[in-house]
């Protein structure tokens, strides 16, 4: 092979590689959420469908408020046009000082993938660099980790690592770095974890739970990592049930249950000391929605219970349950009922009251995913709940997958998407303030580099 040919090949390789980097950092012309439907529709519609830009609770956090930058950064599943189902991993921010958003940036093009299972999570390290963790699909599509080229900037991202990773949940802790929980398909959908000081060099992955399959929601409180998870009997995700909780103080060296008993991992028996409640014996399915922490640092969980995996009245009632810890016992309080297994809300624990924001009210498509968004409050640490305000009403489409930013600000308190759950439609993104009295829509089309989100309410 001639030297001239080798030089030409090298130039082509560099050019191709540089083109791929540019493609991963191009600016979009607005906030277009992706639409998706799962499975074959029944009499009452799809298993879940509609706007899935903020899908789902297994990807967390997807938004982070930075006090230093006075911006709420967020990632979502976008697409390139109103008629498209092509998934793009997007990032943007809301500028609290100027009340504007920029044109969003495409961190990664999923190249034809239309599923929200490839959505992403977001973290910000101690120096202000933004980290985007993109879910993959087993060994077919690797999970990807990207880092911003500059602190608090969305202009350019560089790929740092490929990893077999689904549903990433990264948590940054000063002094110890990243702790990452995610899923991997081996003997079912297992929960795994790893850690890294710098985001580039990661410890070998270890398995936390392998009981046929799991979904999880995790969080960090005072340096302690908690994860709540369910399990799939016989590996069947449609029958997900039971509720488990574990935590680690030492970045995964040891795991303990709520009573500080060390639990041997990986957990492989459904009847174990991490079990919070055996819903399987009650015939109830368990859908995980959110986790937060009370004033003493105890975990508080939001779950949705149902009796059937399909949509429609057969599986009802869909009960929104808050699980909290008091007097060394678990307490289970019912908040309300909704109409779909994939109705997902956000839980907020404040010194004065506990709050839930979610699509608890029937929308224009009663048995479709999502509905109208409402705020529920409790003044007695979760023992009783009442609806405080309807945040949306008379919506054109159902609102779904309401998500809470990490360290939420008063002006950008919850984020969600809308969509028609019965057929393909455009999907827009919305956010609300702390009181639920202001709702803004992110601009679907943008002619300028920066624009103020329009008020819907």
pLDDT at 204 over 60: yes
Q: Exposure string (b/e) for 351-371, b if CB count within 10 Å is 16 or more?
A: eeebbbbbbbbbbebebbbbb
By DSSP bridging, strand 216-221 and strand 206-209 are unpaired
Contact 132, 75 (CB under 8 A): yes
pLDDT (0 to 100) of residue 2: 38
Measured in degrees and rounded to the nearest 5, phi and psi for residue 251 equal 60, 40
Q: What is the pLDDT of residue 272?
A: 97
**Average pLDDT of the chain, as a whole number:** 93
H or E element, residue 21: helix 3-23
Q: Say what the pLDDT of residue 8 is.
A: 32
Number of other CB atoms surrounding residue 76 within 10 Å? 32
Task: Report the relative pairing of strands 49-51 and 35-37 from DSSP bridges.
Answer: antiparallel
Total length of the chain: 457
Residues 69 and 206: their CA atoms lie apart, in Å, by: 35
The CATH number for 249's domain is 2.130.10.120
382-441 pLDDT, tens digit per residue, is 999 999 999 999 999 999 999 999 999 999 999 999 999 999 999 999 999 999 999 999
What's the structural domain count of the chain?
A: 1
Structural domain that includes position 388: 3-455
Q: What is the pLDDT of residues 130-147, one digit of tens each?
A: 999 999 987 778 999 999
Q: What is the pLDDT of residues 2-19, one digit of tens each?
A: 333 333 333 333 333 433
């Amino acid at each position: 092979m001639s030297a001239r040919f080798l030089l030409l090949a090298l130039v082509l390789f560099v050019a191709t590689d540089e083109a791929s980097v540019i493609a991963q950092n191009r600016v979009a012309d607005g906030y277009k959420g992706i639409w998706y439907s799962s499975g074959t529709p029944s009499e009452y519609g799809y298993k879940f469908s509609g706007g899935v830009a903020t899908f789902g609770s297994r990807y967390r956090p997807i938004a982070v408020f930075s006090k230093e930058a006075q911006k709420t950064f967020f990632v979502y599943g976008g697409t390139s046009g109103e008629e498209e189902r092509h998934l793009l991993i997007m990032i943007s921010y809301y500028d609290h000082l100027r009340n504007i958003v920029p044109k969003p940036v495409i961190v990664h093009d999923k190249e034809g993938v239309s599923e929200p299972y490839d959505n992403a999570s977001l973290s910000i390290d101690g120096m202000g660099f933004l980290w985007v963790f993109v879910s993959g699909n087993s060994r077919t599509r690797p999970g990807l980790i990207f880092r911003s080229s500059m602190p608090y900037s969305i202009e350019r991202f560089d790929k740092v690592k490929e990893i077999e990773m689904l549903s990433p949940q990264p948590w940054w802790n000063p002094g110890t770095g990243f702790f990452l929980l995610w899923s991997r398909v081996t003997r079912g959908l297992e929960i795994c974890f790893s850690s890294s000081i710098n985001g580039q060099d990661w410890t070998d992955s270890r398995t936390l739970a392998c009981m046929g399959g799991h979904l999880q929601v995790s969080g960090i409180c005072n340096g302690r990592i908690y994860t709540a998870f369910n399990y799939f009997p016989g590996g069947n995700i449609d029958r997900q049930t039971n509720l488990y909780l574990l935590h680690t103080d030492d970045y995964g060296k040891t795991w303990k249950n709520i009573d500080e008993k060390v639990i041997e991992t990986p957990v492989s028996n459904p009847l174990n000391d991490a079990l919070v409640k055996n819903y399987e014996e009650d015939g109830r399915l368990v859908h995980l929605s959110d986790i937060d922490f009370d004033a003493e640092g105890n975990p508080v969980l939001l779950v949705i219970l149902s009796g059937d995996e399909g949509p429609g009245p057969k599986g009802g009632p869909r009960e929104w349950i808050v699980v909290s810890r008091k007097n060394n016992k678990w307490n289970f309080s019912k908040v309300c009922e909704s109409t779909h297994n994939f109705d997902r809300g956000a839980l907020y624990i404040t010194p004065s009251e506990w709050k839930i924001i979610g699509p608890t009210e029937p929308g224009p498509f009663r048995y479709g995913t999502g509905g109208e968004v409402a705020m529920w409050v409790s003044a007695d640490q979760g023992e009783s709940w009442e609806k405080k305000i309807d945040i949306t009403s008379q919506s054109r489409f159902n609102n779904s997958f309401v998500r809470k930013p990490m360290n939420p600000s008063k002006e950008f308190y919850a984020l969600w998407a809308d969509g028609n759950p019965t057929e393909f439609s455009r999907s827009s993104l919305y956010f609300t303030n702390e009181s639920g009295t202001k709702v803004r829509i992110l601009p679907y089309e943008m002619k300028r580099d920066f624009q103020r989100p329009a008020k819907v309410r």
